[in-house]
Structure 1
Amino acid sequence: MKKIILLLLLSSYYGNTFGQIWTAEANVDKSNLSPWIVDQIDEYEGAYFYGESEAESELTISIAGDLIIAQLENGEWNIENEEVIGWISNYINYTNVKIEGNKFYSDETNGEFVIYLHDNKSIKCLKMNNPPVQMSNDGEFELGPFSNDVLNKRNDGEFFQTKFEIIDYDHLNSLSLGELIIMRNEIYARYGYIFSKNGAMALYFENQEWYNGVYKNIDSFLTAIEKRNLINIQKIEKEKQK
């Protein structure tokens, strides 16, 4: 019975994330693929979805000036005594990421941004040559359908833009010291960092519906954009504390 409940939970969870299409190479008519060309590289910024069910993963591309970030999120169910406690996300930052034309490059995988004509609909995708979880035969590509809804996501904190933008000095300086502290710690909280028990940040974030503390150290999850924001925020905090 518990196994059946788990399968139902998996179906419910993933059925609400993104309308997946089966896009492994064997299922794609390559004549329906064409290059996705943009005027500004920022148009590729957003999330791309791969796999299905518990093998689903999300690749988020963030672009801030000369910084191009590709971060993969996947995870697993946290099960204790055959009961589902929750979902634990894991994050991997791709290295040496470049976008040239509609081509995507990184140390982990290469690919290209394409338009996939499917059921008379044009779907923007990132064709990944080495998907995070191989859903078909080894060596086959997979298409990751694109969504930019993540850019406007507001249910993961008050200052979610720190994931996609380098927050400028004037804006940081306009915030109160308390707001700066929340902004800085939100970067950690979104990755499930466990704050000191009964501390101000623990009490604050435990009252946020989106927060789930699971990690004692999330340093490896932080992107170059987030690290730069952390440095800038801390600098303004120190100035306001004088």
Structure 2
Amino acid sequence: MLQFKTTLVIIFSLFSALSFSQTRDTITFAYMSVQNYEMNLSEIKKIISPKMRDYEGSYHFGESEGEANLEIIFSNGKLYARTEYADWENNTWVEKSDRQSVDYSKYKIVIEKTEYELSTSDNEKGLVSHYYESFEQNIHHDIQFNPDTNIERPEGKYPEASFVKLTSKELSELSISELKIMRNEIFARNGYIFKAGGKMNNYFSKKEWYKPIKKDVIKFSDIEKHNIELILKLEKS
């Protein structure tokens, strides 16, 4: 009799566990950029074993006033990321840029704690991220595809100097001569005319992208101003 009761308890426990798992079904949704644009899951194809440089691009997020682009470049063996967006400031629509931390591991990247993998939809490259939440006793699995809208990559050997605000730690990995090239490359990208016959003029005049058009007044971005000042300090230290 005791054995029979024990068997019933085991059967009841198994049935309860099975019933609970059935009420926690995972419902999967796929959409592009925002939840308003649904996609078929079959449209998204994962890129197998992407290289670090394959993540370079400008990936679109959101719509209307919530629009932003996650921009990533690959330079000198590293990935640099920033978010480009617009915001109201003093009754003016101002373009802004915030640097984002980015790590690459096992063919995926992590940006500000969110993991992304590289995929395609209709042969268009994009970032895919996964989100989970409980809803009415079910688990919703949202798969978001953010398309690559092509990035305008700064020219030169050190494009990151015009792309994100660099740190002293990052720049300390470079020699004084490399820092000098990086700093003057910012001027060159903005069309600065170097002294005829000088080292910088001889160096940049050999670059196809260099277009000397300005002698004095140059409008640097906040990112470029920051990096120029920081590099100068390191050159003098």
TM-score, normalised via structure 2 length: 0.50
Pair member with larger Rg: 2
- Structure ranking higher in strand proportion: 2
TM-score scaled by structure 1?
Answer: 0.49
